[in-house]
Amino acid sequence: MKNAASAAKRPAPALLAVSKTQPAQAVAELAAAGQRAFGENYVQEAAAKQAALAPLGLEWHLIGHLQSNKAREAAVAFDWVQTIDRMSLVDALDRHRGAERPALNVLIQVNIDDEASKHGCRPGDVAALAEAIAGRPHLFLRGLMVIPEPHADPELRRAAFARARALFEVLRAQYPQVDTLSMGMSDDLEVAVAEGATLVRVGTALFGARAPRT
Protein backbone atom coordinates (compact mmCIF):
# COMPACT_ATOMS: atom_id res chain seq x y z
CA MET A 1 0.00 0.00 0.00
CA LYS A 2 2.69 2.44 0.96
CA ASN A 3 4.45 1.78 -2.35
CA ALA A 4 1.27 2.19 -4.37
CA ALA A 5 0.45 5.45 -2.63
CA SER A 6 3.87 6.99 -3.17
CA ALA A 7 3.95 5.73 -6.76
CA ALA A 8 0.66 7.49 -7.41
CA LYS A 9 2.15 10.80 -6.31
CA ARG A 10 5.20 10.56 -8.51
CA PRO A 11 5.18 11.99 -12.04
CA ALA A 12 4.98 9.38 -14.80
CA PRO A 13 8.42 8.11 -15.79
CA ALA A 14 9.94 9.32 -19.04
CA LEU A 15 10.34 6.90 -21.92
CA LEU A 16 13.64 6.26 -23.64
CA ALA A 17 13.08 4.36 -26.90
CA VAL A 18 15.94 1.89 -27.31
CA SER A 19 16.66 1.76 -31.02
CA LYS A 20 19.69 -0.53 -31.19
CA THR A 21 19.63 -2.74 -34.30
CA GLN A 22 16.65 -0.76 -35.64
CA PRO A 23 17.05 1.15 -38.91
CA ALA A 24 16.88 4.94 -39.05
CA GLN A 25 13.48 4.61 -40.70
CA ALA A 26 12.00 2.92 -37.60
CA VAL A 27 13.38 5.74 -35.44
CA ALA A 28 11.92 8.33 -37.80
CA GLU A 29 8.49 6.71 -37.55
CA LEU A 30 8.50 6.79 -33.77
CA ALA A 31 9.78 10.38 -33.86
CA ALA A 32 6.85 11.29 -36.10
CA ALA A 33 4.57 9.87 -33.41
CA GLY A 34 6.11 12.25 -30.89
CA GLN A 35 8.97 10.29 -29.29
CA ARG A 36 12.06 12.50 -28.81
CA ALA A 37 14.57 10.48 -26.77
CA PHE A 38 16.36 7.45 -28.21
CA GLY A 39 18.91 5.08 -26.70
CA GLU A 40 21.73 3.36 -28.53
CA ASN A 41 24.27 0.82 -27.28
CA TYR A 42 27.09 1.31 -29.76
CA VAL A 43 28.74 4.62 -30.70
CA GLN A 44 29.39 3.49 -34.24
CA GLU A 45 25.91 2.11 -34.92
CA ALA A 46 24.39 5.30 -33.54
CA ALA A 47 26.53 7.57 -35.73
CA ALA A 48 24.84 6.59 -38.99
CA LYS A 49 21.34 7.09 -37.57
CA GLN A 50 22.30 10.36 -35.90
CA ALA A 51 23.62 11.67 -39.21
CA ALA A 52 20.58 10.51 -41.17
CA LEU A 53 18.14 11.96 -38.63
CA ALA A 54 20.02 15.13 -37.65
CA PRO A 55 17.30 17.46 -39.01
CA LEU A 56 14.81 15.96 -36.53
CA GLY A 57 16.75 17.29 -33.52
CA LEU A 58 16.30 14.14 -31.45
CA GLU A 59 17.85 13.51 -28.03
CA TRP A 60 20.37 10.64 -28.05
CA HIS A 61 21.40 8.58 -25.02
CA LEU A 62 24.30 6.17 -24.93
CA ILE A 63 23.18 3.19 -22.84
CA GLY A 64 25.83 0.62 -23.81
CA HIS A 65 29.21 0.06 -22.21
CA LEU A 66 31.59 2.80 -23.30
CA GLN A 67 35.11 1.79 -24.27
CA SER A 68 37.71 4.42 -23.47
CA ASN A 69 38.81 4.67 -27.09
CA LYS A 70 35.25 5.70 -28.04
CA ALA A 71 34.90 8.37 -25.37
CA ARG A 72 35.94 11.22 -27.63
CA GLU A 73 33.31 10.34 -30.21
CA ALA A 74 30.63 9.69 -27.60
CA ALA A 75 31.27 13.01 -25.88
CA VAL A 76 30.12 14.94 -28.92
CA ALA A 77 27.62 12.53 -30.54
CA PHE A 78 25.30 12.08 -27.55
CA ASP A 79 23.19 14.34 -25.34
CA TRP A 80 23.35 11.84 -22.48
CA VAL A 81 25.82 9.13 -21.50
CA GLN A 82 24.19 6.73 -19.03
CA THR A 83 27.13 4.41 -18.55
CA ILE A 84 29.86 6.23 -16.65
CA ASP A 85 31.35 3.59 -14.39
CA ARG A 86 34.96 4.64 -13.92
CA MET A 87 37.05 7.73 -13.29
CA SER A 88 38.89 7.61 -16.63
CA LEU A 89 35.58 8.13 -18.46
CA VAL A 90 34.81 11.21 -16.36
CA ASP A 91 38.08 12.75 -17.50
CA ALA A 92 37.76 11.74 -21.14
CA LEU A 93 34.14 12.82 -21.61
CA ASP A 94 34.72 16.17 -19.92
CA ARG A 95 37.84 16.84 -21.95
CA HIS A 96 36.20 16.06 -25.28
CA ARG A 97 32.75 17.59 -24.81
CA GLY A 98 33.84 21.04 -25.99
CA ALA A 99 32.91 24.35 -24.43
CA GLU A 100 30.58 25.40 -27.25
CA ARG A 101 28.12 22.59 -26.43
CA PRO A 102 25.83 22.43 -23.41
CA ALA A 103 27.25 20.19 -20.69
CA LEU A 104 26.85 16.46 -21.36
CA ASN A 105 24.14 14.89 -19.20
CA VAL A 106 25.56 11.86 -17.43
CA LEU A 107 24.38 8.98 -15.28
CA ILE A 108 26.57 6.76 -13.17
CA GLN A 109 25.98 3.11 -14.03
CA VAL A 110 25.91 1.04 -10.85
CA ASN A 111 26.43 -2.70 -10.73
CA ILE A 112 23.58 -3.16 -8.30
CA ASP A 113 23.61 -6.94 -7.85
CA ASP A 114 25.26 -8.78 -10.69
CA GLU A 115 28.58 -10.11 -9.46
CA ALA A 116 29.32 -11.53 -12.90
CA SER A 117 28.88 -8.28 -14.80
CA LYS A 118 32.02 -6.31 -15.48
CA HIS A 119 30.03 -3.16 -16.19
CA GLY A 120 28.87 -0.60 -13.67
CA CYS A 121 30.72 0.68 -10.63
CA ARG A 122 30.27 -0.79 -7.18
CA PRO A 123 27.65 0.97 -5.05
CA GLY A 124 30.46 2.13 -2.77
CA ASP A 125 32.12 3.97 -5.66
CA VAL A 126 29.15 6.19 -6.52
CA ALA A 127 30.08 8.99 -4.11
CA ALA A 128 33.59 9.47 -5.50
CA LEU A 129 32.42 9.35 -9.12
CA ALA A 130 29.63 11.82 -8.38
CA GLU A 131 32.05 14.22 -6.75
CA ALA A 132 34.38 14.03 -9.74
CA ILE A 133 31.56 14.60 -12.23
CA ALA A 134 30.15 17.51 -10.26
CA GLY A 135 33.52 19.22 -10.48
CA ARG A 136 33.72 19.05 -14.28
CA PRO A 137 32.48 22.05 -16.27
CA HIS A 138 31.38 20.04 -19.31
CA LEU A 139 29.48 17.28 -17.49
CA PHE A 140 26.11 17.55 -15.76
CA LEU A 141 25.34 14.88 -13.19
CA ARG A 142 21.73 13.73 -13.55
CA GLY A 143 21.58 10.47 -11.61
CA LEU A 144 21.99 6.71 -11.79
CA MET A 145 21.42 3.88 -14.25
CA VAL A 146 21.14 0.19 -13.35
CA ILE A 147 20.67 -3.12 -15.15
CA PRO A 148 19.83 -5.77 -12.55
CA GLU A 149 20.94 -9.34 -12.96
CA PRO A 150 18.55 -11.08 -15.33
CA HIS A 151 15.96 -13.35 -13.71
CA ALA A 152 13.18 -15.19 -15.48
CA ASP A 153 10.80 -13.66 -12.94
CA PRO A 154 10.97 -9.82 -12.97
CA GLU A 155 9.75 -9.85 -9.35
CA LEU A 156 13.20 -11.13 -8.43
CA ARG A 157 14.63 -7.82 -9.65
CA ARG A 158 12.50 -5.78 -7.24
CA ALA A 159 15.04 -5.82 -4.43
CA ALA A 160 17.76 -4.59 -6.79
CA PHE A 161 15.55 -1.76 -8.02
CA ALA A 162 14.78 -0.80 -4.43
CA ARG A 163 18.50 -0.69 -3.60
CA ALA A 164 19.07 1.52 -6.63
CA ARG A 165 16.32 3.83 -5.45
CA ALA A 166 17.92 4.14 -2.02
CA LEU A 167 21.28 5.04 -3.59
CA PHE A 168 19.51 7.54 -5.82
CA GLU A 169 17.88 9.25 -2.84
CA VAL A 170 21.24 9.61 -1.12
CA LEU A 171 22.73 11.14 -4.26
CA ARG A 172 19.79 13.48 -4.74
CA ALA A 173 20.06 14.73 -1.17
CA GLN A 174 23.62 15.83 -1.93
CA TYR A 175 23.20 17.09 -5.52
CA PRO A 176 19.90 18.92 -6.07
CA GLN A 177 20.15 18.71 -9.88
CA VAL A 178 19.96 14.90 -9.73
CA ASP A 179 16.58 13.89 -11.14
CA THR A 180 17.03 10.71 -13.16
CA LEU A 181 16.90 7.07 -12.08
CA SER A 182 17.18 5.01 -15.27
CA MET A 183 15.89 1.47 -14.72
CA GLY A 184 13.38 -0.90 -16.24
CA MET A 185 13.26 -2.51 -19.70
CA SER A 186 10.49 -4.18 -21.67
CA ASP A 187 10.09 -7.17 -19.37
CA ASP A 188 10.46 -5.50 -15.98
CA LEU A 189 9.36 -1.91 -16.39
CA GLU A 190 6.28 -2.20 -14.15
CA VAL A 191 8.39 -3.39 -11.25
CA ALA A 192 11.01 -0.71 -11.94
CA VAL A 193 8.39 2.04 -12.03
CA ALA A 194 6.79 0.80 -8.82
CA GLU A 195 10.23 1.06 -7.21
CA GLY A 196 10.78 4.63 -8.38
CA ALA A 197 12.26 4.65 -11.90
CA THR A 198 12.06 8.10 -13.50
CA LEU A 199 13.25 6.89 -16.93
CA VAL A 200 12.52 3.49 -18.47
CA ARG A 201 14.53 2.14 -21.41
CA VAL A 202 12.28 0.22 -23.74
CA GLY A 203 13.24 -1.51 -26.98
CA THR A 204 11.38 -4.71 -27.78
CA ALA A 205 8.02 -3.58 -26.43
CA LEU A 206 8.12 -0.57 -28.79
CA PHE A 207 9.85 -1.84 -31.91
CA GLY A 208 9.22 -5.58 -31.73
CA ALA A 209 11.84 -8.28 -31.37
CA ARG A 210 15.35 -7.47 -32.52
CA ALA A 211 17.10 -9.47 -35.20
CA PRO A 212 20.16 -11.19 -33.76
CA ARG A 213 23.36 -9.16 -34.13
CA THR A 214 25.51 -10.35 -36.98
DSSP letter (8 states) at residue 63: -
Q: Is 129 in the site for ligand PLP (CB under 6 A)?
A: no
Among residues 20, 142, 157, 158, the one that binds ligand PLP under rule CB under 6 A: 20
* Residue 177 near residue 141, CB atoms below 8 Å: yes
Q: Is 120 in the site for ligand PLP (CB under 6 A)?
A: no
Determine the size of the site formed for ligand PLP (CB under 6 A): 14
Q: Per-residue contact track with ligand PLP, 141 to 180, x per CB under 6 A?
A: ------x---------------------------------
| Interatomic CA distance for residues 46 and 19, integer angstroms | 9
Handedness of CA 71, 73, 76, 77 (dihedral sign): negative
With 0-12 / 13-18 / 19 or more C-beta atoms within 10 angstroms meaning exposed / middle / buried, residue 33 is exposed
| Residue numbers 56-75 binding ligand PLP by CB under 6 A | 63-64
| Residue numbers 26-45 binding ligand PLP by CB under 6 A | 41
Tell me which H or E stretch contains 47. helix 43-52
User: For binding to ligand PLP (CB under 6 A), which residues are involved?
Assistant: 18, 20, 41, 63-64, 147, 185-187, 201-205
